Amino acid sequence: MMIHETPQCFPISLAARGETVSLIEIRGCEKVRQRLGELGLNVGLTVRVVQSDFNGPLILAVRNDTRLAIGQGMAQKIMVKYAPVEA
Amino acid sequence: MAAQSIKIALAGNPNVGKSTLFNALTGSHQHVGNWPGKTVEKKEGRLHLDGQDVIVVDLPGTYSLTAYSIEEIISRDFIINERPGAVIAVVDAANLERNLYLVTQVLELETPVILALNMSDIARNRGLSIDPQKLSRGLNGAPVIETVGSSGIGVDALKTAIRQTAAVADQRPARIVYSEALENEIAQLEPAIRAVPALVQQYRPRWLAIKLLEADEDILKRLEAHPTLIAAGHAGSERIEAATGEDAETLITDARYNFIGGLVSEALVRPREILETTSDKLDHVLTHRLYGVPIFLLLMWVVFQITANVSAPLLNWVDGVIAGPLTHWTIGLLSALGLSGSWIEALLVDGIITGVGGVLVFAPVLMSLYLAIGLLEDSGYMARAAFVMDRVMRAIGLHGKSFLPMLVGFGCTVPAVYATRTLENESDRKLTGFLVTFMSCGARLPVYVVMGAAFFGAQGGNLIFAMYLLGIAVALTTGWALKKTVYRNKPPQPFVMELPPYRAPRLQTVWRQTWERTSSFIRKAGTIILATSIVIWLLMALPATSEGRFNDVAPGDSVFGTVSQITAPIFAPAGFGNWQASGSLITGFIAKEVVVGTMSQIFVGEEEALAVEDLAAAPPTFIEDVTFIGTSLLEAAVLTVQEIVNIVPRTVNIIPGINLAEADFLGAGGEVEDTGALESALTQVFSPLAAVAFTVFVLLYTPCMVTVAALRHEFGTRYTLYQIAYTFAIAWLGAVIVYQGGLLLGWGV
Amino acid sequence: MASQLSSVLDRFVNQSAPVSISQMAREMQIEPGVLHSMIDYWVRKGRLREVNSGGEACTSCGGKSGCPFIVNLPRYYEVVGENTPAAAPPCACGGSCHTSG
């Protein structure tokens, strides 16, 4: 897959470990969106990928003190882009 | 000579480092006692500031100043009655908002506050930046001082603040302004309170008005003599509720949180980027897609090495004390009472001491299991175990979160059944409930330990580890099969789980938990296992035929033996078709611990005849017994340390080609492990292969009756009946496969 | 406007499954520590109670603080009294909303 070539938007499941990304769209049905919203994963949020690997669950750093494990299936529905580097 | 001394109180939430700060302030000039009429500890210290005598009182750690606990009432009364010159509010800078709640309540008491931002180093490490000046401004100029109690940072500044605060006569602490509806009622109550001189003398009118509106139980009781005030307060709260639709106490509490919110939004800046913590670095390795599962297995291996080997010396000691001194003291005492050879002696010695004692012996084993598991839990690793297992679980269609209840099952199956509630989906819950019974609970462990020690000596730890792995494997296979059949159309739910940060285990917490878990086992020995032992003794003393006499019958001819004999053939294909084995298994339904207890009663009872003759020949003196208890305990302690040290070589030695020497403190070699009466009796009835098959059966078969009740409570009767039938079938099949397979492979010698 | 404290309680009333504290803290953007205190408030007032203290049927653990084996699970709360939560809403989009491996 060449998704890394298009810097615009890609599922978070493809983000590499250590990358900081911001959520731009959550795909899938209302229930998935609602569930992610309940977890505080809303569009606009910046998260860092702590652990990621092909076809397994991910660990995301959400805010400074929270680490969330999410399954691969959910990760495929979270579209992100690279967060702008702050000066 | 000096002016009148000033009183200062230290207030703060529990675990904010208040005591360390108290020590740093007062040094060795401390007095520890109790609060008058209470069992709560009161610490008082003194310090001198420019010749001024300052008394510092350490108030109990509380989250608020309501009237819900003794600690809260003590703190509140102290501030009300003693009117300290200032209250040093110690707050955890890393948890500023939660900690400030108590501060708002101190402010309501209209006492000058000095805010100590303790553990400010930790807050800074977390990227939090707190502006003390802004905080001070929000608190109407109250001094705000950053402290690190452990290294004494900020203590001098704190002393300066005490001096300054005490020097100002007219203090105006910050006031929390409530909503209009509330302020109106406060304004109406205040004059009524001011009209009562006795109250004005003791309380701040505004504070008392707020408490009346909150309907604070303690205050209502104290104002019993002023029913009109209470009625006015009550009427006020009702008006507030009618106007706003909310309860007055809720509104007041909420206003305090609002005040905090405003304060913090000014003074606290949270980090913009998400910092990489040590915990994250650990996760890079521990949850790695390749090393994650092997690391989990390695940790489990270490856990069971600890369980099997480290506890062994202590186990042998307890065994020695019960089988030796305790038994002949009982016999001696009974013969002094003229009951020698009576059925009472048999009940006490062969029934209770052998049965309950046979189970109690394993307390050290369970304690070390719970200790090891507790360390893993408190360090934050257990949640990661579920994370790394998600890959495996998902491959067979299960939910990664299902692994959490399964891990609870290592301790006890009953809470594991209830822990399935953390799964959101009904079919996931039912499926997980089906699997948790295969996770080897603490109660099954004694069987593995006995069989391991009897047949495999120092390698017994491997048998234990194998049983735990087999339990996981059967659970996963069952899950896979059910997912393919019964729960075919149920898609797995999304996997989301919070991972707590790793931390060094808090030894106190781990120890308390270990103790609570172990004592639940000991309590069980005193109740259900005691009762079962008596019943089994009775059934073993009752002859099945009219020829035998009560308490004088070979165990095989007793009622118990005869009934067990009937069920025994079921287990013949698995290699343990003897009545002793089937008898022990039947009792295991009551509680799995009882299996070992029953085995002791059967086997040790059979051997007793010989042993008692031996004892009669030369009963040890009391002194000899006491010496034996002491020296063997000492020896056990040394051996325990040795086994802890040996975890390292044993673990490293898994790597092929490496062979580290193991420590041997007493110079006795590995062979001293004296096998108890039970172990040696077992070797005569079981072949090693049959012993393994028996162990497998104990691992897998029908859960104990308490678990069955829990399953029924959670999932219904039909489900539970399926569960009982399935576990029995799987256990039988597993044991038969092990035995017959072993025979085919030629291991049956 | 309802107070934040009340909205914490409402959040539980409108919830079908048990909610964990940290999850709710993120959703409502309240500091977890503060949320904890707010929940304690409702527990004290008798409007919420902790779920999964487990072993109602377990005879072996007579511990004062519930079952000693279960302490390290996330803590869940549920509403006490009149407002029993509704059953979980069915998935609106059939099979497509599950997440596959």
* Selected residue with higher pLDDT from B578 and A45: B578
Phi, psi of B502 (to 5 degrees): -70, 150
CB of A18 less than 8 A from some CB of C: no
Q: What is the pLDDT along chain C (101 residues), one digit of tens a residue?
A: 568 888 888 888 877 666 667 777 777 888 878 888 898 898 888 888 776 544 443 444 444 445 566 555 556 677 776 544 433 322 222 223 333 33
Q: What is the pLDDT of residue B241?
A: 92
* Pick among C15, C28, C99, C100 to test the A interface (most A CBs inside 10 A): C99
Distance, in Å, from the CA atom of A12 to the CA atom of A16, rounded to the nearest integer, reads 9
User: Minimal Cα–Cα distance from C83 to chain B, Å?
Assistant: 17
Element (H, E) at B176: none
Asked whether the predicted pLDDT for residue B301 surpasses 50, the reply is yes
Are B284 and A51 in contact (CB < 8 Å)?
A: yes
Asked whether the predicted pLDDT for residue B745 surpasses 80, the reply is yes
Residues of B in contact with C23 (CB under 8 A): 498
| CB B40, CB B85: distance < 8 Å | no
Are C26 and A55 in contact (CB < 8 Å)?
A: no
Looking at A31-40, B16-25, B478-487, which range is the least confident one?
A: A31-40
Which residues make beta-bridge pairs with C76?
Answer: C20, C51
| CB B559, CB B586: distance < 8 Å | no
Residues of C in contact with A28 (CB under 8 A): 96-97
Segment B645-650 shows an average pLDDT of 79
Segment B359-368 shows an average pLDDT of 85
Residues of C in contact with A38 (CB under 8 A): 19, 23, 27
Are B253 and C23 in contact (CB < 8 Å)?
A: no
- E strands within B65-140? 86-92, 113-118, 129-130
CB of C14 less than 8 A from some CB of B: no
Asked whether the predicted pLDDT for residue B514 surpasses 50, the reply is yes
pLDDT digits (tens, 9 = 90+) for B308-353: 778 878 888 888 888 788 887 888 888 888 877 778 888 888 788 8
Q: What is the pLDDT of residue B729?
A: 95
Buried b (16+ CB within 10 A) or exposed e, C12-32: bbebeebbbbbbbbbbeebbb
Looking at A39-43, B67-71, B635-639, which range is the least confident one?
A: A39-43
Asked whether the predicted pLDDT for residue B97 surpasses 60, the reply is yes
Segment B609-634 shows an average pLDDT of 68
Are C5 and B709 in contact (CB < 8 Å)?
A: no
pLDDT band (50, 70, 90) for residue A20: confident
CB of A47 less than 8 A from some CB of B: yes
Which whole-number Å values give the CA distances from B301 to B217, B307, B369, in the listed order?
54, 10, 12
Segment B240-267 shows an average pLDDT of 91
pLDDT band (50, 70, 90) for residue B409: confident
CA angle in degrees (0–180, nearest 5) for B504-B509-B511: 105
Are B496 and A68 in contact (CB < 8 Å)?
A: yes
Name the residue in chain B with its Cα closest to that of C100: B492
Size of the B and C interface in Cβ pairs below 8 Å:
133
Residues of B in contact with C52 (CB under 8 A): 418-419, 421-422
Q: What is the pLDDT of residue B195?
A: 92
CB atoms closer than 10 angstroms to residue B199: 19
Segment B422-450 shows an average pLDDT of 87
| CB B37, CB B16: distance < 8 Å | no
Are B492 and C56 in contact (CB < 8 Å)?
A: no
Distance, in Å, from the CA atom of B342 to the CA atom of B381, rounded to the nearest integer, reads 55
Per-chain mean pLDDT for chain B: 85
Looking at B172-186, B482-496, B577-591, which range is the least confident one?
A: B482-496
Asked whether the predicted pLDDT for residue B550 surpasses 80, the reply is no
Segment B263-272 shows an average pLDDT of 84
Are C69 and B408 in contact (CB < 8 Å)?
A: yes
Q: What is the pLDDT of residue B115?
A: 95
Q: What is the pLDDT of residue B122?
A: 80
* Pick among A45, A50, A55, A82 to test the B interface (most B CBs inside 10 A): A50
Segment B728-737 shows an average pLDDT of 95
Which chains, if any, share at least 3 CB pairs under 8 A with chain A?
A: B, C
Are B713 and C56 in contact (CB < 8 Å)?
A: yes
Which chains, if any, share at least 3 CB pairs under 8 A with chain B?
A: A, C
pLDDT band (50, 70, 90) for residue A84: low
Segment B95-122 shows an average pLDDT of 91
Q: Which two tokens stand for residue B18?
A: 């208040």
Q: What is the pLDDT of residue C98?
A: 33
**In the 8-state DSSP scheme, what is residue B654?**
T
Asked whether the predicted pLDDT for residue B236 surpasses 90, the reply is yes
User: Minimal Cα–Cα distance from C15 to chain A, Å?
Assistant: 11
Distance, in Å, from the CA atom of C82 to the CA atom of B552, rounded to the nearest integer, reads 64
User: Minimal Cα–Cα distance from C6 to chain B, Å?
Assistant: 8
Q: What is the pLDDT of residue B605?
A: 63
Distance, in Å, from the CA atom of B350 to the CA atom of B608, rounded to the nearest integer, reads 8
Distance, in Å, from the CA atom of B82 to the CA atom of B76, rounded to the nearest integer, reads 10
pTM of structure: 0.69
* Pick among A21, A22, A60, A64 to test the B interface (most B CBs inside 10 A): A64
Distance, in Å, from the CA atom of B72 to the CA atom of B483, rounded to the nearest integer, reads 53
pLDDT band (50, 70, 90) for residue B66: confident
- Please report, to the nearest 10 degrees, the dihedral formed by the alpha carbons of residues B663, B667, B673, B674 taken in order: -170
CB of A69 less than 8 A from some CB of B: yes
- For residue B59, with 0-12 CB atoms within 10 Å meaning exposed, 13-18 middle and 19 or more buried, which class applies? buried
